[in-house]
Amino acid sequence: MLFNIVIVFHVIVTISLVLVVLLQSSKGTALAGSAFGGGGGGGGGSFGGTRSSPLSRATTVLAVLFMLNCIALTVLNADTSNRTGVPNPDARSVVTEQVQKEIAAQQAAAALQNPAGDSLLAPP
């Protein structure tokens, strides 16, 4: 139950993070605009101490939430699964069982055709 709640929270944080990143204006447009004759606009303090916008702060908060949520999902998943990576080692595959039955049937048919027990691959 807790795992499902964390998954839903993770989806909400992920969608919010994508939207906030897409809403931000690119900082590289001024540089690219001036390089190709566009003028670019005001410098905006390339290396100076500028105040961060609310979208920038929201991006930072959502990114931190995203990372913490990823760690939480990893921990929760490690608690629910075994260490081998196989969901249930006792589970049997229907396909594997069917193939094993077919191989056994082919071997039985081959034994009936060659009752002497001679190898089919041995030279005569």
* Residue 108 belongs to a domain: no
Is 37 within the bounds of a domain? Answer: yes
> How is residue 49 written in tokens?
């101490």
pLDDT of residue 83: 55
> What Cα–Cα distance (Å) separates residue 53 from each residue in 39, 57, 110?
23, 6, 78
Domain residues for the domain of 63 are: 2-41+52-83
> Which pLDDT does position 72 carry in this prediction?
92
- Residues 26, 28, 31, 32: is their CA dihedral positive or negative? negative
| 97 falls within a domain | no
Q: At what angle do helices 54-80 and 2-23 cross, to 10 degrees?
A: 150
35 is a domain residue: yes
The answer to whether residue 95 is domain-embedded is no
Q: Which parts of the chain are beta strand (E)?
A: none
DSSP-derived letter for residue 40 is -
| Domains: count for the chain | 1
Instruction: Return the pLDDT at 93.
Output: 74
* pLDDT in single tens digits along all 124 residues of the chain: 888 899 999 999 999 999 999 998 776 655 444 455 554 444 454 555 567 788 889 999 999 999 999 999 988 887 665 555 556 656 677 788 888 899 999 998 888 887 665 555 555 5
